[in-house]
Amino acid sequence: MKTLYLVRHAKSSWDNTYQADFDRPLNKRGRKAAPFMANLLRENNVQVDLIISSPANRALTTAETFCEVLGYPYEKIEQRIEIYEGGINQMLQIVREIPDSCSSAMLFGHNPTLTSFANFISGEHLENIVTCGIVRIDMKPALWQHTMMDSGKLEWYEYPKKYQ
């Protein structure tokens, strides 16, 4: 069975109104939530074979924090601009390109695309994946390339405020 984790980046800072959206860093709340959520995964023995992230600062920083906690090498993060710039079709293509040797993959991205993609893949209706929210989808196809609409089952949705 293949497992896909979709992670929305942690809360980002809007302090510098002149800063490009792509370059926005995590704010204090985001820097606290990312390791908390990564530890939640570690405590539940989650291991991933591949991490793919938007190269936007807030998403990549969130991914790097998860790497630190989960013991995944930073240098193996696959950065894909399509996660930042694209929509459901680009996300679908990225998932279809995951090597079948990977039984689990984790994608770090942005809304509204991440929520739309989770709903597309699972056939469920999440209103909104909040910042640093994590969705686990167990995939029905044996091969990543067969991923399509309704090809996964939403197993759970975790988010920081659930634990506060």
Neighbours of 28 (CB within 10 A): 9
Q: Contact 23/58 with Cβ under 8 angstroms?
A: no
> Chain centroid to CA 54: how far?
9
In this predicted structure, what is the pLDDT of residue 124? Answer: 95
What is the value of pTM for the model shown? 0.96
Instruction: Give the strand pairing for 50-53 and 78-79.
Output: parallel
Class of domain 2-12+24-163: alpha beta
In this predicted structure, what is the pLDDT of residue 36? Answer: 97
In this predicted structure, what is the pLDDT of residue 142? Answer: 93
Q: How far apart are the first and last CA of the chain?
A: 32
Helix (H, G, I), strand (E, B), or coil: what is residue 102?
coil
Question: Residues near 32 by Cβ (< 8 Å), separated by ≥ 6?
Answer: none
In this predicted structure, what is the pLDDT of residue 15? Answer: 85
In this predicted structure, what is the pLDDT of residue 51? Answer: 98
In this predicted structure, what is the pLDDT of residue 65? Answer: 98
In this predicted structure, what is the pLDDT of residue 106? Answer: 98
Helix (H, G, I), strand (E, B), or coil: what is residue 103?
coil
Query: In one letter, which amino acid is 110?
Result: H
In this predicted structure, what is the pLDDT of residue 104? Answer: 98
Cα distances (angstroms) measured from residue 90 to each of 22, 29, 100, 117: 18, 29, 19, 10
In this predicted structure, what is the pLDDT of residue 89? Answer: 96
Nearest-angstrom CA–CA distance, 49 and 33:
23
Which segments in the chain show pLDDT lower than 50?
A: none
